[in-house]
Amino acid sequence: MLAILVLLAILIPVISPYDPSAQDLRAFLQPPSADHWLGTDQLGRDLFTRLIYAARTDLSIMVLAEIIPFCTGIFLGMLAGYYGKWMDNIISLVTDTFIAFPFYLIVIIVAFASGAGQRGIFITFMLVGWIVFARVTRGVTVSLRQQEWVASAQTLGLSGIRIMFRHILPNVLPQAVVVLMTDMVGLLVAIVTLGYLGIGIAPPTPDWGTMISDGQSFITTAWWLSAMPGLAVVYTGIALSLVGDGLADLWRRR
Amino acid sequence: MSHGLHIKDLTVRYDGVTALDRIQLNIEEHTTLGLVGESGSGKSTLARVVAGLIVPDEGIISLGDEPLTRKRSRAQRKKIQMIFQNPDASLNPRLSIRQLLSEALLFHGIVRRSELEQRCLELLARVQIDGSALDRYPHEFSGGQRQRIAIARALSVEPELLIADEPTSALDVSVQLSVLELFSSLKQELNLTMLFISHDMGVIHAISDTVAVMRHGQLVEINSKDRFFARPDTAYGYQLLSAVPKMPAGTYSRRDTP
């Protein structure tokens, strides 16, 4: 499912004869037809083309904005779990503080503060995205730490950092990746929401959120304008969750 | 006081409970001390303190003439290795046997990369495991084989003291014997100094030169093996010995000398 979407997003310039921003005012608000598979919007832009181009923007932002939080989260989580004591206290204090704030509140504040657009999303996610991973990793690390193979690595005289990366990391990664998949769904919805509220991706770059809000005014006459991007979000969400479940099953079997 | 392990006034407390109470213990070089005692008597705590996994509240542990610092250096850690009770838990499930064996060798610079393969094979041969094991993972082996691999890894850093904390207790009876035989032969071939913990008197009898008895965190008796098994000095030692179930006369032959 995810593969289909990614493939489409990569191949769209080849498949579609239309430009995502090209307006054709003679053919505005057309219902789905053979020429325009999902119809056109109020400016006569091909909806299917825009939808897939939007997938490009949204998915790539989603992946890019997850990479750094994923790494820092795991690193901090391992530090907290492995060394415990004051290290754990500090890191847990920070994560708990962030968790006390509703996610969207932080997102909207930061997005306003840093100005709309991709940069806002990146900054927000750098700030709050790592928390989930830090918490999960910390929990797993604390339980792994009791294992005798950690003790035996310690008696071998290996350094703490080495034990963390060579011994604990491979055991933490499966859980973290599964969490990554679910977290990506959340992030995607956040990106789309910001777009919908007008503080996310700036037009004319196609984005599912802005597409939904643009289509809203025509909801009675041209329902597909809002419905299709909405369905696209649902589709991607389900696809990501399925990948997460599949990976979890795979690792459990090993 | 030149070689061997020397423990003086070692005390460990957990939340007000005294787990180890002023332990005094010496293990001569190239000898094996068998440590017995019931569950909760502090045997494993002592092992972990000596291995540097628990920091003691008081007391001095020295290996040879060198007192071990509270926060041990890598070189100090390397000198004392430990075999754990459960070989399922003491080998990282996500590393291959090759990785498990070679990691410490490379980290401490014991062998050069070009000699690594050779050394790993030697280590496996020493514990009677086939060389084809190198690229397999711990879960592909039986408990006894895993314990052998754990022993090979502990030996890889050429320790001065080997601690074995109930190394046969988690194994099947049939496998226990062969692992025990391995310990005995390694002891002779490599002139190991060992701290061997068990609650099985038969195992202790087979492997030890000296026997030490622990009870409620205290060391109540230290005696040579022959004296302990013939006539223990303390009533508690006698009690432990008389608790060993015996087979009917005639069918009973213990693995005294492997």
**Residue B183 pLDDT:** 87
| Chain B residues with CB-CB distance to A152 below 8 A | 82, 84, 90-91, 150, 153-154
The verdict on a CB contact (< 8 Å) between A154 and B77 is: yes
The verdict on a CB contact (< 8 Å) between B94 and A171 is: yes
Query: Does residue A140 register a pLDDT over 80?
Result: yes
Q: pLDDT digit string (tens) for A179-197?
A: 888 888 888 888 888 878 7
- Cα B228 to Cα B2, B233, B234, distances in angstroms: 26, 7, 9
The reply to whether A135 touches chain B by the CB within 8 Å rule is no
Query: Does residue A149 register a pLDDT over 60?
Result: yes
Q: pLDDT digit string (tens) for A78-114?
A: 888 888 778 888 888 888 888 888 877 877 787 777 7
Residue B84: which of A148, A156, A158 has the nearest Cβ?
Answer: A148
Task: Supply angle C-alpha A217, A219, A221, rounded to 5.
Answer: 105
The verdict on a CB contact (< 8 Å) between B104 and A158 is: yes
Q: How confident is the model at residue A15 (pLDDT cuts 50, 70, 90)?
A: low
Q: pLDDT digit string (tens) for A38-89?
A: 666 666 677 777 777 788 778 888 888 888 888 988 988 888 888 877 888 8
The verdict on a CB contact (< 8 Å) between B51 and A155 is: yes
Residue of A nearest to B163 (CA): A155
The verdict on a CB contact (< 8 Å) between B78 and A156 is: yes
Q: pLDDT digit string (tens) for B111-130?
A: 888 888 888 888 888 888 88
Of B31, B6, B24, B5, nearest to B194 by C-alpha is B31
**Residue A10 pLDDT:** 67
- Dist. CA B208–CA B35, nearest whole Å: 9
Give me the DSSP letters along B24-82.
Answer: EEEE-TT-EEEEE--TTSSHHHHHHHHTTSS--SEEEEEETTEEPPSS--HHHHHHEEE
Cis before B232 (ω within 30): no
Q: How confident is the model at residue A200 (pLDDT cuts 50, 70, 90)?
A: low
The verdict on a CB contact (< 8 Å) between B77 and A171 is: no
Q: The whole model's pTM is what?
A: 0.74
B10 in Cβ contact with B20 (< 8 Å): yes
Q: pLDDT digit string (tens) for A203-234?
A: 667 788 778 877 777 777 777 777 888 888 88
Interface ipTM: 0.70
Just give the CATH number of B5-242. Answer: 3.40.50.300
| Chain B residues with CB-CB distance to A165 below 8 A | none
N- to C-terminal Cα separation, chain A: 24
Decide: helix, strand or coil at residue A249: helix
- Dist. CA A57–CA A52, nearest whole Å: 9
Domain locations in chain B as residue ranges: 5-242
| Chain B residues with CB-CB distance to A147 below 8 A | 89
The reply to whether A143 touches chain B by the CB within 8 Å rule is no
The reply to whether A149 touches chain B by the CB within 8 Å rule is yes
Q: pLDDT digit string (tens) for B175-233?
A: 888 888 888 888 888 888 899 998 888 888 888 889 898 888 888 888 888 888 888 88
Which tokens is B34 given? 């068998």
Q: How confident is the model at residue B1 (pLDDT cuts 50, 70, 90)?
A: very low
Query: Does residue B98 register a pLDDT over 70?
Result: yes
Q: How confident is the model at residue B2 (pLDDT cuts 50, 70, 90)?
A: low
CB-based contacts of B73, cutoff 8 Å, min separation 6: none
B144 in Cβ contact with B83 (< 8 Å): no
- A88–chain B nearest CA distance, Å: 19
Query: Does residue A19 register a pLDDT over 70?
Result: no
The verdict on a CB contact (< 8 Å) between B74 and A157 is: yes
